[in-house]
Amino acid sequence: MIALANYVMRGPLQAYGVVVMAAILAIFFSPIGILAGIVIALVTLRVGVIDGAKTMAAAALVHLILTSFMSGSFAPGLVVVIEFMLPIWVIAVVLRNTNSLGLALQATAFLAGAGLVLAHLMIGDLAQWWLNLFNEVARPMLEEAGVSYPIETIEQMTKMITMLLAMFAALLWFGQVLIARWLQAALYYPGQFQKDFHRLTLPKPVAWTTFGIALASLFMNEWTGGLLGNLFGLLTIILMFQGIAIIHHGVQVKQASSGWLVAMYILLLVFPQAVLVLAIIGMADTFSDFRSRWEPSN
């Protein structure tokens, strides 16, 4: 990965070549699109905002043209650009201008939250919309294949899909910017990424907002069409990043085994509830500042 980043940083032609190739391959295997986002963020962070925008435009243009040629419509490609290229560039711009991972994480929350609110305003009952989509697309195929399924489970899933997509989007966006920041540090500022990540902190208003939304969702979630619950899930992912930073900092300060970090990531993969645990740790740190207490001087 570092070798690829070094190649991208040789010049604009190299950056365009990698990002365009990633945009083309993403049509056939979408996870490769993550590489395009990382390159866009890296160019923005290291070279400049305009150069990052040009790199994004090159990837977007190629992706839109090929998607239109293959599907007969710009719409699928436009969705990819709006959801998975533009937000990463915006977050990278915030990080470049502020040099703060905390502010970049808040920008991630704002973009994903704005998307949630817009979706609720445009569609209304998102759970019903997902259920209708299932009935139109997936249900006939399942019935034709003779696959049985409990409709109650499907209905429960439709109530969670929007929240899970928002959480995944925030994780994907900020994760790509984090990787780009790590690559930048590895190439030009060795050791700086660890210092920056260990200092990742969200302000108290984020914690209070999360607490308020969680409390309100207990009584008003149905009235808001599930919006409050979706926002709470999104903010949980946002606070999770601070929780992860705290664990990394604790392991480094206490000179503990890296096995603790491996165990943490395994728990995150196996038990989704670990996200909430880390979010609670992050929220508590907002008020208690565990990391300053762990410093050797304290």
pLDDT digits (tens, 9 = 90+) for 257-281: 889 999 999 999 999 899 999 999 9
pLDDT tens sequence across 237-250: 999 999 999 999 99
Q: Which of 289, 274, 277, 239 is nearest to 106 (CA)?
A: 239
Give me the percent of the chain exceeding a pLDDT of 90: 64
Q: Range with the lowest mean pLDDT among 18-22, 66-70, 169-173, 271-275? A: 66-70
For residues 126-152, average pLDDT: 82
Q: Cα(106)–Cα(250) distance, rounded to whole angstroms? A: 23
Residue 199 pLDDT class (50, 70, 90 cuts): very high
For residue 232, what are its two tokens? 């709470």
Q: Which of 159, 166, 173 is nearest to 236 (CA)?
A: 166
Is the pLDDT at 297 greater than 60, yes or no?
no
Measure the CA angle with vertex 288, ends 268 and 277; round to 5°.
20
Is the pLDDT at 148 greater than 80, yes or no?
no
Burial class (CB in 10 A: 0-12, 13-18, 19+), 177: buried
